[in-house]
Amino acid sequence: MAAGPTGAVLALLGVLSVCAASAYGSVAEREAGGEAEWAKPCDGAVFRPPSALGAVGVTRSSGTPRPGREEAGDLPVLLWWSPGLFPHFSGDSERIECARGACVTSRNRRALRDSRTRALLFYGTDFRASAAPLPRLAHQSWALLHEESPLNNFLLSHGPGIRLFNLTSTFSRHSDYPLSLQWLPGTAYLRRPMPPLRERAEWRRRGYAPVLYLQSHCDVPADRDRYVRELMRHIPVDSYGKCLQNRELPTARLQDTATATTEDPELLAFLSRYKFHLALENAICNDYMTEKLWRPMHLGAVPVYRGSPSVRDWMPNNHSIILIDDFESPQKLAEFIDFLDKNDEEYMKYLAYKQPGGITNQFLLDSLKHREWGVNDPLLPNYLNGFECFVCDHELARLDAEKAHADSPGDSPVLEPHIAQPSHMDCPMPTPGFGNVEEIPENDSSLVQVRDHCICLRCLWPHSEKGRTHNYAAVP
């Protein structure tokens, strides 16, 4: 990154940070409704982007709305600064009913300076400091929705970047409205029956490898292709997609990379032929888990996983995935996969969670039960609508606190600001997928990814990474 643009970004971050709005809040808990029958073959609905499920007119959430502020003109306004995510069918504004009361949600940017506009909602992938709405108004909270990894916006992985926001909804369990299980519909999804081992043995006799790799996004910060390339030297791997490709999917439709991330029945039937799926995320962050992990488990394959360092916390039991980082080398991993491939009894221990009572992780069960949104579940809001109500309830509580302070300053002190923290993204420094940085040729595209992200994460804001404060507004 050039010195000039870096200085400009730092200066702008300083201006934004100085203008941070005060807020406070917490996530309300409620039990989820009935579980969708995800054990059945899926129709592609699970991994589509969240659809606009909010009803035209009034959108309702759980809870009993409190009386007061019945007229739309008296309701706090939530402004989607990323209008493409506005989760309603038509129009620019919508009244929503939430647990604490009602708000108006809008995508009309003309509402920015309206005194009733209490919160701005940003989508992390679209957020650019250079395009932030300034000057920032003191009475407005900034709320961030960012379910993606740092690959989509590295700015948010730095303290000064994430602290621009008061409220967050990210993959991290530490965010204010967590989306850690955004790719897992429910326990029935995990319990879907697997193909008989004899069928997989027959496919092996037809020339299929024991291990599948399906990836078309190459040269990512996690540097996953370097590891897979080395693993291929020690065990057969059928690689589809654009990364390390050595085989073709059977039809042109399945070869479309857009199909490869869906729950297309034909694609799932093909992928279920493999006993092991290489499941490597594009970035390494605590609690960042995608379809690369959950889809193999749905199909009854064993994920060979590298991604969230906290992934064990979320597994159905303590023996359901193979962690790449548990092995000292790709060769040792290949030897273990080969052992399981030749020993059905040992292999099936990794699929015990599909049996009655096999899901023993109470943390996972509780997290699914108490999350406030669903994955295409008609009994629950999707996470866009849920995020709106979370912010609405937060702003209603903040308004009540401000009124209480105005009525009785001695009894109700001014609230301390609620500010997002780096743990709301929680992404360690990226490292090479295999070997050391010094061993990677200078012209290797993967080195560029690792090196550039190291610069972003370690060097751009060294003061904040060491826990010190700095007045970035003063940076020239």
Task: For residue 231, give the CATH number of its domain.
Answer: 3.40.50.11660
pLDDT at residue 278 is higher than 90: yes
The residue-averaged pLDDT of 166-182 equals 97
90 and 151 in a single domain? The answer is: yes
Instruction: Give the range among 123-132, 259-268, 309-318, 431-440 with minimum mean pLDDT.
Output: 431-440
Residue at 445 is within a domain:
no
The residue-averaged pLDDT of 165-171 equals 97
The helix, strand and coil proportions of the chain, stated in percent and rounded to the nearest 5, come to 35, 10, 50
163 and 252 in a single domain? The answer is: no
The 237-240 sheet, strands edge to edge: 237-240, 211-214, 276-280, 302-306, 322-323
Structure confidence at residue 57 (pLDDT): 37
Structure confidence at residue 443 (pLDDT): 59
For 303, the enclosing helix (H) or strand (E) is: strand 302-306
- Beta strands of 376-469 (E only): which ranges? none
pLDDT at residue 67 is higher than 80: no
pLDDT at residue 47 is higher than 80: no
Structure confidence at residue 72 (pLDDT): 58
Q: Within 10 Å of residue 352's Cβ, how many Cβ atoms? A: 15
Please check whether residue 167 is in contact with residue 176, taking contact to mean a CB–CB distance below 8 angstroms: yes
Structure confidence at residue 38 (pLDDT): 44
The residue-averaged pLDDT of 158-162 equals 92
Please check whether residue 281 is in contact with residue 288, taking contact to mean a CB–CB distance below 8 angstroms: yes
Confidence of residue 428 (pLDDT cuts 50, 70, 90): confident
CA distance 146 to 384: 11
Structure confidence at residue 405 (pLDDT): 92
Q: Which residue has the tokens 């496919």?
A: 203
Task: Record the pTM.
Answer: 0.80
Confidence of residue 307 (pLDDT cuts 50, 70, 90): very high
Residue at 248 is within a domain:
yes
Structure confidence at residue 430 (pLDDT): 76
pLDDT at residue 92 is higher than 60: yes
Structure confidence at residue 152 (pLDDT): 87
158 and 234 in a single domain? The answer is: no
Structure confidence at residue 8 (pLDDT): 40
Residue at 131 is within a domain:
yes
Q: Give the chain's domain count.
A: 2
Residue at 395 is within a domain:
yes
Percentage above 90 pLDDT, the chain = 62
Average pLDDT, the chain: 81
Confidence of residue 166 (pLDDT cuts 50, 70, 90): very high
Q: Cα Rg for the chain, rounded, in angstroms?
A: 24
Structure confidence at residue 410 (pLDDT): 87
Residue at 149 is within a domain:
yes
Burial class (CB in 10 A: 0-12, 13-18, 19+), 118: buried
Which residue range(s) make up the domain with 295? 187-364
Cα angle 376, 378, 384 (rounded to 5 degrees) comes to 55
Residue at 91 is within a domain:
yes
Residue at 104 is within a domain:
yes
- β-pair partners for 79: 106, 120
259 and 121 in a single domain? The answer is: no
Between residues 232 and 31, the one the model is more confident about: 232
